[in-house]
Structure 1
Amino acid sequence: MRGSDGVPDVDEPGAGAGPRPGEAAGLRPGGLVVGVGLRPSTAPAEVLGLIRRTLAEAGLPGTSVVRLATLAGKAGHPAVRRAAAGLGTDVDEHPAEVLAGVAVPHPSAAVAAAVGSVSVAEAAALASAPGGELVVPKRKSAAATVAVVRVPGGPADAPASGPARPDPLPAHPAPAPAPAPAPAVGDLP
């Protein structure tokens, strides 16, 4: 089936083109949007694996993912299609000009040279969830990058009555602190 723009829709369930940039139709408040950047050579399983590892490390359920978001022209990439199908969600595509206008905490000169925007994963996720919170900054594998944004307006935005939400993961996790040295024999009581 062809969309209104004449481009064929993808044939895998849940891997459609989704709303146009700036539309938030169908986004569940408090849900997660995962931004995806990738190289043309990215293997089909790499993006889904990176998303699952990233969500697990952040303690976020995969069932909360309501949308993937990426650079225009990438929704048909086999790795993006497989990730969308595996998560049962649609994909938003954003032109480089739109992504270039999104402020991100971790810009990349290399990405800017390649696609015309200093970010794909963080910028695409933020563009698909206007006003959302970047809860996991970009995470990289060999040929892909993902970032996670929480859609505003959900339970996560309400004042916490129980334990506080964990802080967003840093862009590059800090190493674990070294254990404290054991007391010297002369220091014991």
Structure 2
Amino acid sequence: MGERLILGVGLSSGADAQALLALALAVLDEGERKAAELASIVSLERRIGHPALRALAMALDCPLLGYPAERLAGARVPTPSMRVEELVGVASVAEAAALEAAGRGALLLVGKRRASHLTCALAHGDGIDPEDGFSSGPRN
């Protein structure tokens, strides 16, 4: 499996689709990457149905994967949040999900960036098995 570029996303129920798209594009730009290079967008499994997250996947033409919080709970992340850990059991959804999905040799290219009700992080690595997690389906 080749190198994969992964966008991790954390969001609350009040997240806005336009704000998420703007943050995601800013993170990609900071990492000097293009949306077309993304292998997947990842977040918590329970957020996969969020309209902002689904709109982002459609706008970037990218598959969406979700992980249960338990799977991401032990991840070592550079910018943990005690508040997020109290609420969802994960110290940083965006970073933890991106690193998990990037697989072996995962490297965080852009650490967690925040906007209102949102976080995004960008990682790359050797990748994951597409069946290893919840998938909303192939690229549109």
- Count residues in correspondence: 126
Question: Cα RMSD over matched residues?
Answer: 1.4
Q: How does 1:18-167 map to 2 (within 5 A)?
A: 29-131=2-104, 132-152=106-126
Long gaps (5+) in structure 1: 1-27, 154-189
Are the equivalent residues in 1 in contact too, given 2:8–2:97 (CA < 8 A)? yes
Q: Deviations over 1:105-139 (max 9, x none)?
A: 11110110110111100001111121221111000
Distance in 2, Cα, partners of 1:30 & 1:130: 9
Q: Which structure carries more helix by proportion? A: 2
The percent of aligned pairs where both chains have the same amino acid is 37
4+ aligned runs moved over 4 Å, structure 1: none
Long gaps (5+) in structure 2: 128-140
Distance in 1, Cα, partners of 2:35 & 2:56: 11
Name which one, 1 or 2, has greater alpha-carbon Rg. Answer: 1
Distance in 1, Cα, partners of 2:53 & 2:30: 21
Name the SS for the 2:19 alignment partner.
helix
Q: Which structure carries more strand by proportion? A: 2
- The Cα shift of 1:152 comes to 2.5
1:7 is matched with: none
* Paired letter, 1:150: H
- The Cα shift of 1:99 comes to 0.8
Distance in 2, Cα, partners of 1:130 & 1:105: 17
* Paired letter, 1:43: D
TM-score (norm 1): 0.63
Distance in 1, Cα, partners of 2:100 & 2:120: 14
- The Cα shift of 1:31 comes to 3.0
Q: Deviations over 1:158-187 (max 9, x none)?
A: xxxxxxxxxxxxxxxxxxxxxxxxxxxxxx
Distance in 1, Cα, partners of 2:120 & 2:112: 5
Q: Deviations over 1:132-151 (max 9, x none)?
A: 21111000111100000113
TM-score (norm 2): 0.84
Distance in 1, Cα, partners of 2:4 & 2:45: 22
